[in-house]
Amino acid sequence: HFMFVELVPGAAILLVLFLVTLWAFKFHQARGKLPPGPRPWLFLGNLLQKDVLPLFKTYLTKKYGPVFTIWLGVKPMVVICGYEGVRDALVTHNEEFSGRPPIALFAQITKGYGLISEHERWKVLRRFALTTLRNFGMGKRSMAERILEEAHCLVGKISTFEGDLIL
């Protein structure tokens, strides 16, 4: 019994060292699959590196190109700079870049609906919204003509007040 008590602290230290080593190995493997970027610290990422934050520092783009990775703690963030890079990501590779990290608070409040929906649910909601807007005339020339007609009527009404206060 006495010997077991002496082994517990050593075993706990070995377990912690093993887990940290395993986590560091997985962290290093994850870095290999992402675009290049400044070397992150193990648990802090790039948060304490003065040359990384704020993100608008242009030397990161000069050093790593228009697509690079920075780490906010243990979470990687892929940064895309420039029109061509953003266009390529959102148009050519739209499936790879379509997901967004989940925000637990918003997911709980909106129950998966709303502005932050994604994947299949987002596609269904988008299709519904576009169909409904098209039914109301979006994208049709007749709708533009109606809007112009209403705008002319509104300008005519406002001009009759000749500088008077409109309530």
Q: Is the pLDDT of residue 3 over 70?
A: no
- pLDDT at residue number 8: 77
Tokens of 147: 């809007």
Domain range annotation of the chain: 1-33, 36-98, 103-166
Q: What is the percentage of the chain residues whose pLDDT exceeds 90?
A: 1
- pLDDT at residue number 160: 84
- pLDDT at residue number 70: 84
Q: What is the percentage of the chain residues whose pLDDT exceeds 70?
A: 74
- pLDDT at residue number 1: 57
In tens, the pLDDT along 123-164 reads: 787 788 888 888 877 777 777 788 888 899 998 888 888 777
Query: What does pLDDT average to over the chain?
Result: 76
- Give the span between the Cα atoms of 149 and 167, in whole angstroms: 23
- pLDDT at residue number 36: 87
- Give the span between the Cα atoms of 19 and 128, in whole angstroms: 48
Q: Is the pLDDT of residue 22 over 70?
A: yes
Q: Is the pLDDT of residue 35 over 80?
A: yes
In tens, the pLDDT along 84-130 reads: 888 887 778 777 776 666 666 666 666 666 555 566 777 787 788 88
Q: Is the pLDDT of residue 23 over 70?
A: yes
| Contact (Cβ atoms closer than 8 angstroms) between residue 69 and residue 38 | no
| Contact (Cβ atoms closer than 8 angstroms) between residue 78 and residue 109 | no
- pLDDT at residue number 103: 63
In this structure, what are the phi and psi dihedrals at residue 83, rounded to the nearest 5 degrees?
Answer: -60, -50
**Using CA of residue 108, residue 114, residue 116, residue 119, what is the dihedral sign?**
positive
Long-range CB contact pairs, 27-36, < 8 A, 24+: 27/74, 30/76, 31/69, 31/76, 34/69, 34/76, 34/78, 35/64, 35/65, 35/67, 35/68, 35/69, 35/78, 36/64, 36/65, 36/68, 36/69
- Give the span between the Cα atoms of 31 and 37, in whole angstroms: 9
